């Protein structure tokens, strides 16, 4: 008979893993779950503002932002899927409502009819500029100087990048937005 406390095939008891005496020692699962909850809270805040003012979600906004930065304001759907971390069918589902409201159009490749591009329309570009203003306000509220130092923001950005949290480049804010 094996001792369950030393048998490697015995699953650990439920609950957090024992922690060391170092105050910086944390349970990795707890940290990961806190990150997931924080991400959900951030998405909820962006979604509330973007949908309330512009009728789009944070996912829609991110998709439009990627298109705006692509050469000619268009990307192959498969490249857009990779950039967003989605499947091709996920991008198709995300593009459909944006196409219906005229923010994005579907373009066939001149040389290969099998290739489809998603392109930002002039209306999409105008609306995206408005969305960027709203998104900047939400981000400014999230990282208000009375709660976050610039060092906090830099450190968080560095840590998120280490986890693979990259984002499309955001154009600089116009001077009247920064003040």
Q: Following DSSP, what letter does each residue of 76-126 receive, concatenated? A: EHHHHHHHHT--HHHHHHHHHHHHHTTSEEEEE-SS-TT-EEEEE-HHHHH
The 10s digit of each residue's pLDDT in 70-108 is 999 999 999 999 988 899 899 999 999 999 999 999 988
The per-residue pLDDT of the chain, averaged, comes to 84
User: Is there a domain that residue 151 lies in?
Assistant: no
**% of the chain with per-residue pLDDT over 90:** 55
pTM, 2 dp = 0.77
Give Cα 138 distance to the centre of its chain: 14
d(CA 50, CA 59): 10
Whether 163 shows a pLDDT value over 50: the answer reads yes
Residue 110 buriedness (CB in 10 A; 0-12 / 13-18 / 19+): exposed
Q: Which structural domain, as residue segments, surrounds residue 79?
A: 55-145
Domain CATH code at residue 123 = 1.10.10.10
pLDDT at 160: 87
* 111 Cβ contact list (under 8 Å, min separation 6): none
Tens of pLDDT along 127-150? 999 999 999 999 999 999 999 998
Is residue 1 in a domain? no
User: Looking at the domain assignment, is residue 4 inside a domain?
Assistant: no
Q: Which residue has the tokens 């949290």?
A: 165
Question: How many domains does the chain divide into?
Answer: 1
3-state secondary structure of 75: strand
83 vs 113 pLDDT, higher one: 83
Assigned domain for 108 exists: yes
Separation between Cα atoms, residue 60 and residue 44, nearest integer Å: 14
Beta-ladder partners of 118: 75, 106
118, part of any domain: yes
Q: Is the pLDDT of residue 12 over 50?
A: yes
pLDDT band at 7 (very low <50, low <70, confident <90, very high): low
Q: Is residue 78, in this structure, part of any structural domain at all?
A: yes
Q: Would you place residue 172 in the very low, low, confident or very high pLDDT band (cuts 50, 70, 90)? A: low
b/e sequence 85-99, b meaning 16+ C-beta within 10 Å: ebeeeebbebbeebb
Residue 135 lies in a domain: yes
Taken as a whole, the chain contains a residue count of 179
- Predicted confidence band of residue 178 (pLDDT cuts 50, 70, 90): very low
């Amino acid at each position: 008979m094996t001792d369950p406390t030393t048998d490697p095939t015995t699953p650990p008891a439920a609950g957090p893993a024992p922690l060391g005496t170092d105050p910086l020692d944390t349970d990795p699962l707890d940290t990961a779950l806190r990150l997931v909850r924080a991400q959900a809270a951030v998405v909820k805040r962006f979604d509330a503002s973007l949908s309330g003012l512009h009728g789009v979600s944070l996912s829609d906004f991110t998709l439009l932002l990627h298109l705006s930065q692509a050469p000619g304001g268009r990307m192959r759907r498969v490249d857009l899927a990779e950039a967003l971390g989605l499947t091709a069918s996920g991008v198709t589902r995300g593009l459909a409502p944006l196409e219906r409201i005229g923010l994005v159009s579907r373009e066939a490749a001149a040389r290969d009819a099998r290739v489809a591009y998603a392109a930002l329309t002039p209306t999409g570009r105008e609306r995206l500029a408005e969305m960027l203003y709203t998104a900047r306000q939400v981000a400014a509220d999230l990282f208000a100087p009375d709660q976050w130092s610039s060092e906090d923001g830099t450190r968080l950005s560095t840590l998120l990048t280490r986890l693979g949290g990259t984002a499309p480049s955001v154009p600089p804010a116009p001077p009247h937005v920064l003040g």
